[in-house]
Amino acid sequence: MAETLLLDRRWIARGAERTSTLRFVLWLTPWILLLLLGIYAAGLCLYYGLNQTNMDNRFAFGMWIFLDLGIIAMGAGAFFTGFLVYILKQDDLRPVLNSAVVVGLICYSGAVAVLMVDVGQPLRAWFTFWYPNTHSMLTEVTFCISCYLLVLILEYIPVLLRNRQLAKIPSFLVFEHQFHKLVPVLAGVGAFLSFFHQGSLGGLYGVLRGRPFAFRQGFLIWPSTFFLFVLSAMAVGPSFLMLVVAAAETVTGKKLVPMGVFRKLGFISGVLLAIYVAAKAVDTYIWLNYTTPAVGFGPWDYYSYKPFSSAFLFTAILPLGLLPAVLMIVPLTARKRGWLLFAAALACGGVLVNRFVLTVQTLALPTLAFDEFLKYTPSWQEVATFGGVIAYGVILYSLSYRYLRLFPATPRKEDEHVSVG
């Protein structure tokens, strides 16, 4: 037992204060159990098929796609933070750069894992690359997500090789030093890949003419949802990163980054969120007055089916869009940690509502007079599988925090007193 404790301590960065091995194991235990349950549920889906879920041929999109689109948007904090630091030279955001890489890696790898279960043929995943459907936007999405996941893995390698024990290996040390020079290039490539796959996920709704509720007309050569998905991802990425870092501070009981970093992330997120809300409001106005009437439907007919209502239409724009943008921009609230994190949570909730409306609600609504309203409730296998992804993320982030340098050793003195109004 003593040798195990000593071995564990040897892998922790020199001078870093971490909890005891026993407490760390106790912290990981429930997450490991949840991960095992998720693996079991995913195994059932892969072995018996998608009849383990409550999806069918008519309701092909469900909880997995909805949450995948959500976490991919929140994982945008990785590419956007790297773009800000390495391309725009915002060096004051460096304290959260490594954490952003880990969060992005978790979000994208978790999303890919769930998609492989959703498709149901993971052994044939290579068909997408060898026999690509060049007429499908999902082919471009698959290529970009896969390539960007590879970029995130490459960005994680320098963080990993700075581990106390791995750094003792001369070849690893030299490789890390040389490879670190390529990180700015990777940040630029990651920004390019993430921009287009975020947009193409939204561009899907430019071809869904059979689903007037979600269909959007083109702006130039792209549907409006292409730009809305990019803007929302860029806006919510820094907010989600703030929430993750704040959660890490709460769990560890340590102040990991200066308050100034939170304020800057909040301001960037707030400005982008305000731009997104304005664009979303214009898009909604055009959809209400032109797009929907042009296909022979009254816009409010879409909300005559319960449990959906027109509240969904305005919730994502006002209380989960405009309100958090104001809270993160106005100095009176932006200087207070509590209000800032509250606004970040609202912003993340707004993107989730938007993705829910465009996936789950879209397929539930009938498009023909003889069609019935489709009801969908995820099965326990669907919930458990995604719960396993969440557990995987907590475990990977916890291990990275314990054994790697995700944050600076100490914050600046002038930021020690943080307002928590």
Beta strands in 201-272 (DSSP E): 218-219, 222-223
Burial of residue 143 (number of CB atoms within 10 Å: 0-12, 13-18, 19+): middle
Q: Can you give the three-state secondary structure of 103-171, one letter per residue? A: HHHHHHHHHHHHHHHHHCCHHHCCHHHHCCCCCCHHHHHHHHHHHHHHHHHHHHHHHHHCCCCHHHCHH
pLDDT of residue 394: 97
Both tokens of residue 119? 């498709």
pLDDT of residue 25: 93
Query: What is the sign of the dihedral through the CA atoms of 16, 21, 27 and 33?
Result: positive
Question: In 10 A of CB 370, how many CB atoms?
Answer: 5
Residues 213/362, Cβ–Cβ less than 8 Å = yes
Both tokens of residue 87? 């391309």
Task: Using alpha carbons, select from 221, 220, 202 the residue that is nearest to residue 362.
Answer: 202
pLDDT of residue 332: 93
Number of H helices, E strands in the chain: 18, 2
Residues 324/347, Cβ–Cβ less than 8 Å = yes
Spacing of C-alpha 165 from chain mean position = 31
Helix (H) or strand (E) holding 196: helix 183-203
Beta strands in 139-253 (DSSP E): 218-219, 222-223
Supply the DSSP string of 362-412, one letter for each residue.
HHHS--STTPPPPP----HHHHHHHHHHHHHHHHHHHHHHHHS--S-SS--
Both tokens of residue 405? 């340098």
Task: Using alpha carbons, select from 389, 305, 388, 363 the residue that is nearest to residue 54.
Answer: 363
The pTM (predicted TM-score) of the whole model is 0.92
Identity of the residue numbered 74: M
Both tokens of residue 335? 């200087």
Identity of the residue numbered 299: P
Spacing of C-alpha 231 from chain mean position = 14
Query: Domain spanning 55-376: which CATH class is it, in words?
Result: mainly alpha
Task: Using alpha carbons, select from 110, 312, 102, 361 the residue that is nearest to residue 212.
Answer: 361
Three-state SS for 275? helix
Both tokens of residue 85? 């630091």
pLDDT of residue 267: 96
Spacing of C-alpha 259 from chain mean position = 23
Q: How far apart are CA 257 and CA 245, in angstroms?
A: 8
Supply the DSSP string of 292-346, one letter for each residue.
HHHTT--GGGGGSSTT--THHHHHTTIIIIIHHHHHHHSHHHHTSHHHHHHHHHH
pLDDT of residue 109: 94
Buried b (16+ CB within 10 A) or exposed e, 130-139: eeeeeeebeb
Q: How far apart are CA 348 and CA 22, in angstroms?
A: 34
Instruction: Give the phi and the psi of residue 366 in degrees, each rounded to 5.
Output: -75, 145
Q: How far apart are CA 103 and CA 393, in angstroms?
A: 8
Task: Using alpha carbons, select from 234, 232, 257 the residue that is nearest to residue 78.
Answer: 234
Both tokens of residue 150? 């590879």
pLDDT in tens, the chain (421 residues): 555 556 677 888 877 888 888 999 999 999 999 999 999 999 999 999 888 999 888 788 889 989 889 999 999 888 889 899 988 999 999 999 999 999 999 999 999 999 889 888 778 878 888 888 888 777 878 888 888 899 999 989 999 988 888 888 888 888 887 887 888 888 888 888 888 888 888 888 888 887 878 888 777 778 899 999 999 999 999 999 999 999 999 999 999 999 999 999 999 999 999 999 999 999 989 888 888 888 777 777 777 777 777 788 788 899 999 999 999 999 999 999 999 999 999 999 999 999 998 888 888 888 777 778 888 889 999 999 999 999 999 999 999 999 998 998 654 444 444 433 3
Spacing of C-alpha 6 from chain mean position = 36
Spacing of C-alpha 54 from chain mean position = 24
Give 72's Cβ-side CA count (13 Å radius): 31
